[in-house]
Structure formats: C-alpha cells, structure tokens
A and B are shown apart, each in its own frame.
Chain A
Amino acid sequence: MNLFKLSLVRGLIAQFLGTFAGVLLTIIIRVLVGLPAWKSEPVFVGGALVGVVAFMFGTGVLNDWIKWTKGEETPEPPHDSDGLKGLAKYLHVSYDHKVIGIQYGITSVMVLLVAGLFALIFRTELAQTGLQFLTEDGFNTMISLHGIVNIGGILMGVGAMSNFLVPLMIGANDMAFPRLNAFAFWINLPGIVLLMSTLLIGGVDAGWTAYPPLSSNLVKVGFAMFFLGVYVIGLSSILGAINVLVTTLRMRAPGMTLFRMPIFVWSAFATAIIALTATQLIGLSFQLVLFQRLFGMDFFNPLEGGNVLLFQHLFWFYSHPAVYVFVLTGLGVISELLPVFARKPLYGYRWVAMSSLAIALVGFFVWAHHMFTSGMASYLRVPFMYSTLLVAVPTGVKFFSWIATIWRGKLTFPTPMLFVLGAISIFLLGGLSGPPNATVATDLHLHDTYFIVGHFHATMFGGYIFPFFAAIYYWFPKMTGRMYNERLGKVHFWFMLLGFYVQSIMQMEVGLLGMRRRIADYDPALGITFQQLLITIAGFVIATGVLVFLVNMIISVRRGAVAVANPWRSRSPEWQIPSPAPAHNYDTPLEVVGEPYDYGLPGSVYTRESSPPAPPVSAPAAAD
C-alpha cells in the first residue's frame, strides 16, 4: 500500500522538512536582530521546534481541530483506520483508544529495546577494567541516553496500559477526548527523534539528570535536543493524564461506583494525578538550563548569582513522583491479576485503592532524598527522611494484601501470573533497599553508588517491567484475538527472573563496596571485577529473555491459537466481550450490579448487559 499515506511517514517527512525551515527561519531572525547568522545551538533549536510542530501537522492528527477553527463539522471518525489492516493500521492516526493503546505499546517496546541495547553496550565495556572500546564521552552518552530513553519508553508503556484498559474496564466505548488522546500519542515520536538525534551531534554526557553547571557548560548541541525531546515527551504525559482523569470520573457505566471499579483503574487514576501536576517541573528545569545556554540567563551560574541547587529541587520535584507514575500502574496490574489467578477476592480492595492515592500524595513530599549530599540545608534533610520512610506504609498495605489474596487461593501459573509473582518479589527487593537510602546518614555512603542503581533497577523491574510483560501476555488475547505461546512465555520469565536477581544483588553489593555510578572504568583494587562480569552476563541473560518475548509476539500475532472471549475466566468487564475487543467496545451497554472481585461467592454477578439495549449512541459533536 502507499507508504506515503501513512501518518507516521508523513509526519517524519514533515519533521525533516520542518527542521530545515526552522533552521532558515532562525537564521533570518538572527540576521534581522543583528546577530551573526550562524550559531549552531540556537539555530538547531529553532529547527527542532519547527520540526516538531511540522511533524504534528504532517501526521494529520490536527486535522479535525483545524476544521473546527474554520467552523466545519467533523463526522465521527470511522473505527476502521481508513481500511488499513495489520501493522499499517498502527502507523496511522486513529482515534480508537485501543489502537492508540497498542501504538503506545509497540513504540514503548521498541524504545525500551533501544535503551536496553545502550545498556548492553556500556555493560560490555564495564565487564573488565580499562577502557576497551568506548571513549569516556561515548560511555557517558550511553548511560545518559539509557536513562532518559528508558524513562520515555516507560511513560509510553504506562500510556499503553491506561489507554487500552481504562475505557474497557469502566464500560465506556472510548476515552473522553479521543482526538486529544491521539495527539498525546503522536507527539512522543518527534520527541524520540530529538533524543536519538543527540547521537549524531556529539551525544549528551551529563547523565539523564543533566545537572548544571555540567550541562550548561558543555558545548555539545545535543543538550538542547535532549531538553527539547524530554519537554515534548512530557507534554504527552500531561495530556494523556487529562484523558484518564476525565474518563474515569465521567464515563463509568451505570452502577459502577468508584469502589466498584476494577482496581487497575484506581492506579491509572492515581498515576494520572501525578502526571498531570508534576511533569511541568522537569520541563521547567530543563527550560531554564536551555535558556541559560541560549540566552545567557544565569539561573545556575554561581559566578553571576545563580544557584545550582535550584535546578536539583525543580528537577526532582517531578522526577521523584515520576517513579510513582511508572510503578503505580504496574502495581495496579499485579492487584488486578492476582484475584483472577487465585480465584479469590482482592483482599482489602478499598485499602488497596486508597493506598495508590496515598503513595501518589506522599510521593510529592520526598523529592529531596535525591539531594542528601547536594549541599542543601543540613536540617532540612530530616523531614524528607521521615516522608520518604513513610511511603513504605501504603506500599506495605499492598504487599500484605497481595499475600492475603493468594493465601488459601487456588493458584494457577500461566505466564502472566509468573510475571506478577516475580514482580512482587523483585519489587520487594527494590523496596526493601529503600530505607538505607532514605536514612540520611546511611545515604551518605550510598548516594551515587551502584547500590542506588541496584535499588532503582529492582523497583523499576518489579514495579513496571515485569508487570508490563504480565499485562502484555494477559491482555494479548483481548488485543489480538489470539493466544501467545505459553512455553516461550515461561522461558522468557525464567531468563528474566534469574538474570535480574543476579544483576540486582551484584549491583547492590558492588555499590556498598565502593563502586560509583556513571564511571566508564573502575579501580581493580576495589576487588569487584568479577561481580562486574556477572552483572554484564546477567544483562545478556535478560536480553535473551526479551528476545524470546519478541519472537513469541511476532509468531503469536499471526499464528497463535485463536482465543476465546474470556480465557482467564475473569469477572472484569473487558472479558465479557469478544476477543479481540470489537471496535466499539460495548455494543450493548454495560451495567454494574455487584462487586468486581467476588470470586467464591456463589451466584454473584459483577456486570451484565443492561436491558433493553440502549439505542446506538451518536458521536459527541464537539468534545475536545
């Protein structure tokens, strides 16, 4: 089919052309204002900005809104994506939340693969002492991009799960604002292009945290692209959050009170609150550095009255709650799946729901625990220590609830359940390594070491990556109408679990013994060379598991066994409709007449089709 009709292709071409146009425009403006025509960074920034805007126009995702500004009507868009089938459907603009969810998902996996590849590269370098094949700057770029690209990928995965599941789980036919939803997906792509472009222009080697003065002093233009890329991806997060919040509050099926929602919706909701309110701060902090670089505004230049600590406060005010964006969604998946595979109610459902909100709230008050050695006021570290340790309480409520859910249950262990159980144990490891970091005195030893690296990789893998895989396997039939290959799924799981345990424990060990973060080489006198080799090997074992996963996805999408509507015998609404989910979700509207997790209560019903079926709903004429 005609490649040039696809939104993705048009968008990329538009971005390419737009970048040139932006470069020219900036040069012209500079000349008019009396500056020398060429200075690489401002000119590239101008190019990048126009390029991003051009991308969005090129995809066609703005078309309906453009029509509205002209006073034209827009009919409800067809749910058949202009007749595209297969992969091509996902390369084109669609307003269907399920298509958008899968677009987020595929992009997320690809982005995570790239970030993982960066890790394999620098871990190979670190397997032995001495510099084997990377330059120092190259190494520093690899670790920096590994961090930021993973974060972008995880945010997109959160978007994938929220978008695909929330409307289905509440009995709605789509999100509240489908066009905004599509916009929020597509704007990620030019952001990723900007991040990847840094590789071509010298890299970014100040860590994903890009502290000034290092990030404001280094001349590399890549930094501007880095800041802009993150800005744009952050925008996606904010817009996606709006949709999740409004949809959850206003579009639940009749009878679905808040405490009758599937628990995943609670975590998506809590996550969206954070994404909506905190993301602006990382944009702000990066914008200030960019302005210092471009316009000489000395926010963080101490020689001119600036304060480097200001950046860290602004940056971490988002970046800490951000990790709860990553993790709350994953924990929601765990809570959602355990009852199905234990055939028992989610123990203490209301407490679990409230714990997500509690984590979101407390998570806003802990940011300076990333700054205990930064030179912030010494006494001020103490309240942050208290608040950080406090997060353990609602998190503990979840853990105990999970154990109580599987206790006395009737467990089965298909791949999604394996990933969920693995997630619990790994998240436990990561979470338990939190208190030594939270306590200021011990953190003085641990900060900026591999112990921290071990801590956050364990919490990320346990709180996001493993549940993300669990979700993909679990909802695979609902997305594709086919079952994945169970044996390959199990192989994937065992490779990842074993590889990851070795990796985490070794990382924490070498960190305690003196291995710092972000170093291209380490002293053999530390006596940790063997552990470094193990960490690298573990990384490759994990990568092998992921490879098995990719193979599984590719063959199962085409040739997996055809799935029934509800292979897991789940009570959740999305399993009461066919697999794959039909285009309009619920042809007959749903109503809720019972509790979501009453497994084991004979005769209990959660949802049923409302009768008589309501007349077909016409599209809201203008909603977003």
Chain B
Amino acid sequence: MNGSNQGKPWRILIASSHPLFAKGLRSLLEERREMDAVVVGLVATIDEALTALESLQPDLVIVDYDDERVNRDEFLARFVEGEGRLRVVLLSLKEGGSEAIVYDRRTMAASQIDEWLEMWNENQAPFIPPGISPGKGTPQIPKPRRRDSMKHFIAAALVVIVLMAAGLYGYQQINLLPEQASLQGASIDNLFGIHFIAIIVLFSLIVGLMVYSILVFRRKAGDTSDGPHMEGNTKLEVAWTIVPLGAVLVLAYMGGTTLGDIQALPDQKPLQVKVVGSQWAWRFEYPELGIISTELVLPVDEQALLELSSTDVIHSFWVPEFRVKQDALPGEDFVRELRVTPTQIGEYKVRCAELCGRLHHAMESPVKVIAQQDFEAWVKSKTVACTGPVECGNLWYQQFGCQACHSIDGSVVVGPSWKGIFGKEESISDGTSVLVDHDYIVESIRNPGAKITAGFQNLMPANIAANMTDAQIEDLIAFIESLK
C-alpha cells in the first residue's frame, strides 16, 4: 500500500458477511508481508463494523460493496462524521473483477460522498481511476465522477420555466372567453383564470421534464446496459401525493365559495321571468308585468330570477356571455331557478344547450340587456292592448310559440302552414278526413295529438296551451281565418 503509516503497520478492518471473502482477503493480506498490514477484525454486520470502528480504531476499512446487508447510508454517515484518520476501500467481486475505490476521510470531498452513494445505489461498475489495473499497482484516490444529478435537475427546471413563461405570455395575449356580461360571470371568470394558469404551469412541468428526458437521457449507440436502479423514494411519493391533495382541496374550496357567490340573493327583489322551452323555441313570461315575449329583455344591473321549465323534453338555458347555464325540465314540480345579473348593455343570444331533437341547433332567441328606463319603456310597449281579434291573434301566434312550427306564408317548418287552411278539407293520419273549422282548431290546440294531419308527426306539446284562455284561442282562430 502506498503512503506511510509512520512506520507502524496498517491496521485493517474487513467488513463483509461472506466468510469466504473476508477470510480469503485476510490470508492474502497476511501473505503480502511487505505491505506490513495486520487485519485487526472481521465483521459481518453493520453494527459490528461500527463498534469495531470505535474500539479497534483501524486505519483502513475494506468493505465488500456487493454485500446488501451492509447498511450503506449509515456506514457512510459514520465514516464521514468520525474524527481521526481513516480510509475505506470498496471492493466488488462482480463483473469487472477487482476494481477498487479508496476514500480518505480527511480529504474526502462532498462530491465524493454523493458519488459513493450514487454508485452504491446504481450498482454499476465503479469508476476505474487512471493508472489502476486490476490486481496490481497502488490504488489512488479517483477523480470524482461528474455530479450529474444536480446538473440535470437545474437544466430541466430551466426548460420547464421557459415553457411556463411562454405559456403564460401567450395566455395574456389571447381572450379565451367571450365578453363578460354578468355579475356571476365576474366571479366565474376569476376562477377560470386560476384554472388556466394552473393548467399552463402543470403542463409545462410535466412536458418540460418529458422533453428534457427525451432529449438528454437517450441510450448511446451500442450500449446494452441498463439504466440506474432507481426503484422509488417513499418521501417523494408522499410529497407528491400530499401536495396535489392540498392543491385540489384549495381549488374545491374556492369552487364552493364561487358557487355560493353566483347564487347569492340580490339586495332588492329580483325581476321574475318564467323561461319556457319547447321544441324548438323559447318563450319568456313576466308574470308580474303581464308580458309574454319571444325575446328575453332585461334591465342592466338588476338581478333577474329566471324560472326555467319545459313543455316537452329537457332543454337548457345558456347565454355564453352570462356564463351560467341551467337545464329546463318538463313537469310542473320541476321548475328550476337561475339568477343572472346582467352588467353590460348589449344584444346576446340564448341557445338551447341540451340536445332536444331535430332543431336543437337552431333553438335560439335574442337576449337584450338595456338601461333601466329603456326597460320601463319596453314594458309599456308590450302591455299595449292589441286591437281586434286578428291583431291579437297575431300577437298570440308569436307569444305562445306557434310561430316556431307553423308558418303563415305556405312554407312547411314543422307543422302545416296556416296560410289558407281555414275551411279546407284535410286528411288525417288514420286515413279519414276532417274539415278545418273553428271546432277542429280548438281541438288541435287543446288536444294536439287527437287528429294529426297526414304526413306530419305528433310533435306539438300536449300542454302548449295550458296558459291560453278561450278568448285568446278565439283571437287565434280569427287570425288563421284571415290568412288566405
């Protein structure tokens, strides 16, 4: 062995649980008299080794680093912590033969500690210091291996940060959402913003690490060996379970408070609007104002309490600029509420957002948000009475949704056109024929399925006239009669 021991023999401790290794090595050392070494102990377990380090004060410990029963971390920790001169030689009997590494406690650098651990964990053939060949020569302290792990983390982090920055910058430049036109929308858009940023950050994190790995950790041509044996790390697993758990709980909590915000009751009484969906038109009734309309007109900055229902299948009320949506269900026990406080004057559209049959794609109505005084003027104009049965009939034709399915110009929309049908002889789906007179029209409105015109389907909602008075039906008949 190189280096003097000030004339004293080298005191050597051998740590291995393989008796053949330990005793064989001892015989070898003892044979080589010129080395002036004396084996002061053979230990098989870590506890014995640590005890022996104290009690025997060896100058050199030779460790069998294949031995998985030796607790490497602890041994290393003790080795590094202790005072006094001590060197360790790590030997392996596995492939590659008898390469050895020497560490000297006094001169050991932090980087060497990492290397040692890494190497133990990875179980690769140890770095062969220059000038060493197996079985002869004097071991020198090897150059520290490049400490790759920290370098990779930093470089990958840079990739991630660049991606995040690019993503966040791009996000600032575009508008992902339509204009915001309601108070509820303000809370919701706030939450959207948090979500979008979280998406950009997390996407950059994972994709950044992936891209870095794909570019950097490639197998070199001809290398058939495996990668490092990294099985896992419980602390890391716990961390990346607990942290996301905390994050989703926070997000859920924020979602809950936002939901509370958007359902908040207003300071003053809201404007009540009954919204009725039918295949395939909307009707808006203002019961307190006595108005039925085919457009939803709302005063700005006042909460509207929409009471949604359907006369047939499930529809859904949605104005994208308002951000809130609610299904309109059939059945008188199933009226559902939606509160909207429009904050921006303008014209929007409500479009049905639940598949409701053939014309679902076209089931839309105008939504107009206007100033308070304009709204009052509108109310006045709608409650002007119509004069005469034909004019009133025309009004009911629009307000009760007949317009959605029956044209007055001869074209077929969904049901027969009203142009010229009064007084006609029509064939019915069961093969008979009927005269389109006053009584037939009353029956067709009150009991739509009774006699369906041949060639048409039974699509008229059974209760479409639930809110129509007999007088209104008389007006409608007068109107139909007038359509020659």
User: A residues engaging B (CB < 8 A)?
Assistant: 136-137, 140, 205-207, 211, 213-214, 217-219, 302-303, 306-309, 342-345, 347-351, 373-375, 378, 381-382, 385-386, 389-390, 392-393, 396-397, 399-400, 403-404, 406-413, 421, 424-425, 428-429, 432-433, 435-436, 438-442, 444-445, 447-449, 509, 512-514, 516-523, 569, 597-603
Contact indicator A342/B256 (Cβ below 8 Å):
no
Contact indicator B191/A513 (Cβ below 8 Å):
no
CA distance A347 to B123 in the complex (A): 17
Residues of B within 8 A of A214 (CB): 313-314, 355-357
Residues of B within 8 A of A381 (CB): 259
Residues of A within 8 A of B457 (CB): 219
Chain A nearest CB: distance from B123 CB in Å? 6
- 19 A-B contacts, Cβ less than 8 Å apart? A140-B358, A205-B358, A302-B331, A308-B314, A344-B229, A351-B241, A373-B325, A378-B263, A385-B252, A406-B214, A407-B217, A408-B228, A411-B218, A440-B259, A441-B259, A444-B323, A445-B177, A520-B361, A600-B229
CA distance A207 to B217 in the complex (A): 46
Contact indicator A512/B176 (Cβ below 8 Å):
yes
Chain A nearest CB: distance from B276 CB in Å? 14
Chain A nearest CB: distance from B396 CB in Å? 24
CA distance A378 to B264 in the complex (A): 13
Contact indicator A302/B330 (Cβ below 8 Å):
yes
Contact indicator A440/B255 (Cβ below 8 Å):
yes
CA distance A519 to B255 in the complex (A): 29
Contact indicator B177/A513 (Cβ below 8 Å):
yes
Residues of A within 8 A of B351 (CB): 514, 516, 523
Taking a contact as CB atoms closer than 8 A, the residue among A136, A207, A385, A393 that contacts B241 in the complex is: A393
Residues of B within 8 A of A343 (CB): 219, 225-227
Decide yes or no whether B336 CB sits under 8 A from chain A: yes
Question: Assuming the A-B contacts A445-B324, A516-B353, are A599 and B226 also in contact, with contact meaning beta carbons closer than 8 angstroms in the complex?
Answer: yes
| 7 further contact pairs, Cβ within 8 A, besides A408-B149, A599-B226 | A348-B237, A396-B240, A407-B213, A412-B219, A428-B203, A512-B178, A600-B227
Contact indicator B123/A519 (Cβ below 8 Å):
no
Decide yes or no whether B44 CB sits under 8 A from chain A: no
Closest B residue to A379 by beta carbon equals B259
Contact indicator A393/B229 (Cβ below 8 Å):
no
The 4 closest A-B pairs by CB, nearest first: A302-B331, A600-B229, A519-B361, A439-B255
Decide yes or no whether B408 CB sits under 8 A from chain A: no
Residues of A within 8 A of B83 (CB): none
Contact indicator B192/A373 (Cβ below 8 Å):
no
Contact indicator B223/A410 (Cβ below 8 Å):
yes
Contact count band on B: 35 or more
Interface digits, B171-205 against A, CB 8 Å rule (1 contact, 0 not)?
Answer: 00000111000000001100110011011001100
Which of B196, B232, B324, B364 lies at the interface centre, i.e. has the most chain A CB atoms within 10 A of its CB? B232
Contact indicator A411/B219 (Cβ below 8 Å):
yes
Taking a contact as CB atoms closer than 8 A, the residue among A207, A302, A400, A597 that contacts B334 in the complex is: A302
Closest B residue to A391 by beta carbon equals B248
Decide yes or no whether B329 CB sits under 8 A from chain A: yes
Tell me the interface secondary structure of chain B in the complex.
Answer: mixed
Residues of B within 8 A of A350 (CB): 232
Decide yes or no whether B327 CB sits under 8 A from chain A: yes
Decide yes or no whether B295 CB sits under 8 A from chain A: no
Residues of B within 8 A of A303 (CB): 330-331, 462
Residues of A within 8 A of B288 (CB): none
Chain A nearest CB: distance from B180 CB in Å? 10
Interface digits, B245-274 against A, CB 8 Å rule (1 contact, 0 not)?
Answer: 100110110111011011100000000000
Contact indicator A410/B325 (Cβ below 8 Å):
no
Question: Assuming the A-B contacts A441-B187, A442-B188, are A137 and B229 also in contact, with contact meaning beta carbons closer than 8 angstroms in the complex?
Answer: no
Question: Assuming the A-B contacts A439-B195, A513-B320, A599-B227, are A351 and B361 also in contact, with contact meaning beta carbons closer than 8 angstroms in the complex?
Answer: no
Decide yes or no whether B210 CB sits under 8 A from chain A: yes
Contact indicator A410/B227 (Cβ below 8 Å):
yes
Residues of B within 8 A of A436 (CB): 192, 195-196
CA distance A346 to B233 in the complex (A): 12
Closest B residue to A403 by beta carbon equals B209
Taking a contact as CB atoms closer than 8 A, the residue among A140, A382, A598 that contacts B355 in the complex is: A140
Contact indicator A432/B203 (Cβ below 8 Å):
yes
CA distance A404 to B263 in the complex (A): 44
CA distance A519 to B265 in the complex (A): 34
Chain B nearest CB: distance from A279 CB in Å? 24
Decide yes or no whether B3 CB sits under 8 A from chain A: no
Residues of A within 8 A of B262 (CB): 441, 444
Decide yes or no whether B453 CB sits under 8 A from chain A: no
Decide yes or no whether B343 CB sits under 8 A from chain A: no
User: B residues engaging A (CB < 8 A)?
Assistant: 94-95, 122-123, 148-149, 152, 176-178, 187-188, 191-192, 195-196, 198-199, 202-203, 206-207, 209-210, 213-214, 217-220, 223-233, 236-237, 240-241, 244-245, 248-249, 251-252, 254-256, 258-259, 261-263, 312-314, 316, 318, 320, 323-327, 329-334, 336, 349, 351-362, 364, 457, 462
Contact indicator A393/B248 (Cβ below 8 Å):
yes
Residues of A within 8 A of B353 (CB): 373, 447-449, 516
Residues of B within 8 A of A428 (CB): 202-203, 206-207
CA distance A392 to B202 in the complex (A): 12
Contact indicator B231/A345 (Cβ below 8 Å):
yes
Chain A nearest CB: distance from B244 CB in Å? 5
Residues of B within 8 A of A386 (CB): 249, 252
Residues of A within 8 A of B255 (CB): 382, 385, 389, 438-442
Residues of A within 8 A of B237 (CB): 348, 351, 397
Contact indicator A425/B207 (Cβ below 8 Å):
yes
Residues of B within 8 A of A429 (CB): 203
Taking a contact as CB atoms closer than 8 A, the residue among B94, B198, B218 that contacts A410 in the complex is: B218
Which of B220, B240, B333 lies at the interface centre, i.e. has the most chain A CB atoms within 10 A of its CB? B240
CA distance A510 to B61 in the complex (A): 70
Chain A nearest CB: distance from B147 CB in Å? 13
Contact indicator B240/A375 (Cβ below 8 Å):
no
Residues of A within 8 A of B248 (CB): 389-390, 392-393, 435
CA distance A444 to B177 in the complex (A): 13
Taking a contact as CB atoms closer than 8 A, the residue among B220, B258, B314 that contacts A441 in the complex is: B258
Taking a contact as CB atoms closer than 8 A, the residue among A373, A406, A425, A513 that contacts B178 in the complex is: A513
Chain A nearest CB: distance from B195 CB in Å? 4
Closest B residue to A512 by beta carbon equals B176
Contact indicator A345/B229 (Cβ below 8 Å):
yes
CA distance A428 to B187 in the complex (A): 27
Chain B nearest CB: distance from A436 CB in Å? 4
Taking a contact as CB atoms closer than 8 A, the residue among A397, A407, A412, A521 that contacts B362 in the complex is: A521
CA distance A307 to B206 in the complex (A): 45
CA distance A289 to B296 in the complex (A): 34
Contact indicator A509/B176 (Cβ below 8 Å):
yes
Residues of A within 8 A of B218 (CB): 410-412
Chain B nearest CB: distance from A214 CB in Å? 4
Chain A nearest CB: distance from B127 CB in Å? 16
Chain A nearest CB: distance from B156 CB in Å? 8
Chain A nearest CB: distance from B400 CB in Å? 19
Contact indicator A375/B252 (Cβ below 8 Å):
no
Closest B residue to A211 by beta carbon equals B314
Residues of B within 8 A of A519 (CB): 360-361
Contact indicator B320/A445 (Cβ below 8 Å):
yes
Closest A residue to B356 by beta carbon equals A214
Residues of A within 8 A of B332 (CB): 302
Contact indicator A432/B152 (Cβ below 8 Å):
no
CA distance A213 to B327 in the complex (A): 13
CA distance A219 to B206 in the complex (A): 50
Which of B199, B232, B240, B255 lies at the interface centre, i.e. has the most chain A CB atoms within 10 A of its CB? B255
Residues of A within 8 A of B334 (CB): 302, 307-308, 375
Closest A residue to B244 by beta carbon equals A396
Closest A residue to B220 by beta carbon equals A410
Residues of B within 8 A of A393 (CB): 241, 244-245, 248
CA distance A131 to B294 in the complex (A): 25
Contact indicator B206/A439 (Cβ below 8 Å):
no
Contact indicator A308/B188 (Cβ below 8 Å):
no
Residues of B within 8 A of A408 (CB): 148-149, 152, 217, 227-228, 230
